[in-house]
Amino acid sequence: MKNILVTGSSGQISSELIPALSKRGYNIISSDIRDPPKEELEYSTFTRLDVTDREALRQIVREYQIEGIIHNASILSAKGEENPYLAMNVNIRGLENVLTVAHEENVQRILSPSSIAAFGPSTPKIDTPNDTIMRPTTIYGISKVYTELLGEYFVLKFGLDFRSLRYPGIISAKTLPGGGTTDWAVEIFYKAIEEKKYTCFVKPDTMMPMMAMPDCINATIQLFEAPEDKLIHRTFNVAGISFTPQMLAEEIKKHIPEFIIDYKPDYRQQIADSWPKSIDDTVAKEEWGWESKFSLEDLVIYMLDELSKKLKSTVSSP
Ligand code: SER
Rounded distance between C-alpha atoms, residue 219 and residue 21, angstroms = 12
Helix, strand, coil abundance in the chain, percent, nearest 5: 45, 20, 40
Per DSSP, what are the bridge partners of residue 44? Answer: 28
Tens digit of pLDDT for each residue in 172-200?
A: 999 998 899 999 999 999 999 999 999 99
Q: Is 316 within a domain?
A: no
Closest ligand 1 atom to residue 182 Cα is 4
Catalytic residue among 140, 167, 198, 302: 140
Closest ligand 1 atom to residue 169 Cα is 1
pLDDT band at 11, cuts 50/70/90? very high
Q: Ligand 1 mean position to 179 CA, how many Å?
A: 8
CB of 175 closer than 6 A to ligand 1? Answer: no
Q: Is 220 within a domain?
A: yes
CATH number at residue 299: 3.90.25.10
Q: Ligand 1 mean position to 288 CA, how many Å?
A: 24
Q: Ligand 1 mean position to 102 CA, how many Å?
A: 26
Q: Are residues 141 and 52 located together in one domain of the fold?
A: yes
- The amino acid at residue 311 is L
Q: Are residues 166 and 177 located together in one domain of the fold?
A: no
140 part of the active site: yes
Q: Ligand 1 mean position to 74 CA, how many Å?
A: 10
Tens digit of pLDDT for each residue in 60-100?
A: 999 999 999 999 999 999 999 999 999 999 999 999 999 99
**Alpha helices by DSSP H, the chain:** 14-23, 40-43, 54-63, 77-82, 84-87, 94-104, 139-158, 184-194, 213-225, 245-253, 268-273, 282-288, 296-311
pLDDT computed for residue 316 by the predictor: 52
Number of domains comprising the chain: 2
- Judge residue 227's burial from the number of C-beta atoms within 10 Å of its C-beta, 0-12 exposed, 13-18 middle, 19 or more buried: exposed
Q: Are residues 190 and 114 located together in one domain of the fold?
A: no
The structure's pTM equals 0.96
Segments forming the whole domain that contains residue 104: 3-170+212-237
Q: Is 318 within a domain?
A: no
pLDDT band at 156, cuts 50/70/90? very high
pLDDT at 252 over 70: yes
pLDDT at 281 over 60: yes
CB of 180 closer than 6 A to ligand 1? Answer: yes
Q: By alpha-carbon position, which residue is closest to atom 6 of ligand 1? A: 115
Q: Which residues contact 207 (CB under 8 A, 6 or more apart)?
A: 242, 243, 244, 277, 278
Q: Is 131 within a domain?
A: yes
Q: Which residues contact 176 (CB under 8 A, 6 or more apart)?
A: 12, 183, 186
Q: Are residues 194 and 267 located together in one domain of the fold?
A: yes
Quick one: which of 177, 133, 155, 135 has its CA closest to 11? 177
Return contacts of 55-58, CB within 8 angstroms, 24+ apart: 57/97, 57/98, 57/101, 58/101, 58/104, 58/105
Question: Phi/psi of residue 83, each to 5°?
Answer: -145, 75
